[in-house]
A and B are shown apart, each in its own frame.
Chain A
């Protein structure tokens, strides 16, 4: 059995068939997981500029660039093992650098609330065993964490849910779009206007406190019906997707307010990258913040240190990226500034970012070519093991060697 690093569910029931040192087939994975485990067609080659060189030279060059940087930043690590993340935090500290991950423009706000215990949360195993009402809010798990419903939330039998989805569980979707997940939540799909989440929460809170909910153009009966289902729940869960997070990003506390009115409910941010929560926990343990931190005499958190803002303001001159592709995932209007700085890219594959990088360092695929640990979306620590021998170094070793050389 191996653990899939395709998403933050870290499914641990995966079988792989290896032939001639390559993964030929995977069993039990979803499409996303199979893609991750089988890997990419274009592996990154070690290079400085256009020149192919050996990995040792790349590591030395990366260290030299970082040492000479005026305002270095380290970014990514959500597809790295926890060991690599700890090394990255140490390296940022040593360099007085900024460190950030994709959570600054993704689920960081929500994970921070979990770590600060502002949300009541629970484990995925609790959900499988006990949950009777589950809400996918701005989350299309069927496409983003494709085995979430089948392994944990809706379809499985659980200790206190022996009748499964047929009788024991109610699945609800609140979304702008009738997603694949919403399709499963038959009769319990609440379509809301784009950016209407906050108003919907307020209307729901009114209904929960016995007032007539106000929500322009919305069927009040439907909100009252939803409030009735939530009040009756014995063990409920709100899976907060990125759609919800983006919509309430300026007032995420409102979700905690709703949570306080629903004492039987638990809130869980739906995380994509397999070890984003690990990064948030590792940095939080070290600095008290989950992302966007600048080291110096003491670590300082500021949104100015988020990747989107540093690129927009062009406030850094060197960026080390590991296991992330900011050119792919950020608005082109700000990612463009990457072309004007020195980038060191650590990744298993050729990425958009690697194309404009000064130094490229190929890495092993964690959970396939190197082992380690990671943190599942619910906070459970999970072991990863290698199932093929590739000869590529893991992120942890690469970062360790860069640190020795700076």
Chain B
């Protein structure tokens, strides 16, 4: 039986800068059931321009690990609805994006929700579930 060398190779990791935004479908899902699949579906994703996806070798629907010193999540890669110039990735504001936001507010009280630096790489793990994002888990 041959050894699956690929299993031991680390997927390449890229630097990524993420900004967050609001999505009315996600907010409606939140109103109905913040514990439900719909809310997770709209939240647990990172949206990237075609250009960046090609650069990093990601395809629509790939799962990626996004992590920094604040936390680590696995989400799905999706393509931005409109052509974006690249350099910035997008997440809908949610507990998933909040897992990556620093608690350091510079004493101002306002965390950097819209400017998140992280590393991104392909992952075979399941998309992070809400249970994992609740404190204590």
Contacts and interface: CB of A to CB of B under 8 A. Distances in A.
Residue among B25, B71, B80, B98 with the highest chain A CB neighbour number at 10 A: B98
Interface of B: 17, 19, 21-25, 27-36, 70-71, 80, 82-85, 88, 90, 93-95, 98-99, 101-105, 107-115, 130, 133-136
B100 to A, nearest CB: 8
A41 B102 contact: no
A330 B134 CA distance: 12
Contacts of A306: 105, 109-110
A352 B95 contact: yes
Given A330-B98, A355-B134, A31 B28 contact: yes
Contacts of A330: 98, 111
A141 B82 CA distance: 17
Interface stretch (A61-69, A123-131, A177-185, A229-237): A177-185
Q: Which of B33, B36, B112, B114 has the most CB of A within 10 A?
A: B114
Contacts of B94: 328
Those 10 A-B pairs whose CB atoms lie nearest each other, nearest first: A306-B109, A35-B31, A334-B103, A331-B101, A35-B28, A333-B103, A143-B24, A339-B135, A303-B109, A178-B82
A105 B24 CA distance: 20
A251 B84 CA distance: 28
Contacts, number: 159
A35 B95 contact: no
Contact of A105 (B22, B25, B31, B111): B111
Nearest to A41: B33
A183 B81 CA distance: 11
Given A177-B90, A335-B135, A40 B32 contact: yes
Given A31-B25, A177-B84, A339-B136, A331 B32 contact: no
9 contacts: A6-B31, A31-B28, A40-B32, A176-B88, A195-B115, A292-B109, A308-B109, A332-B98, A338-B135
Contacts of B32: 35, 38-41
Contacts of A352: 34, 95, 130, 133-135
A383 interface: no
Contacts of B95: 327-328, 332, 352
Nearest to B116: A331
A183 B134 contact: no
A357 B57 CA distance: 43
A42 interface: yes
Nearest to A330: B98
The listed residue with most B CB atoms (<10 A of its CB), out of A146, A304, A334, is: A334
Interface size, A (range): 35 or more
B134 A356 contact: yes
Nearest to A106: B110
A249 B113 CA distance: 12
B107 to A, nearest CB: 6
B137 to A, nearest CB: 10
Interface string A311-349: 110000000000001011111111110110000000001
A194 B115 contact: yes
B35 A34 contact: no
A306 B105 CA distance: 10
A46 interface: no
Contacts of A335: 98, 135
A393 interface: no
A308 B105 contact: yes
A215 to B, nearest CB: 16
Given A35-B27, A339-B135, 13 more contacts: A40-B33, A105-B109, A177-B21, A191-B85, A246-B114, A303-B105, A306-B105, A309-B105, A328-B95, A331-B103, A332-B71, A333-B70, A350-B35
Given A143-B24, A335-B135, A32 B110 contact: no
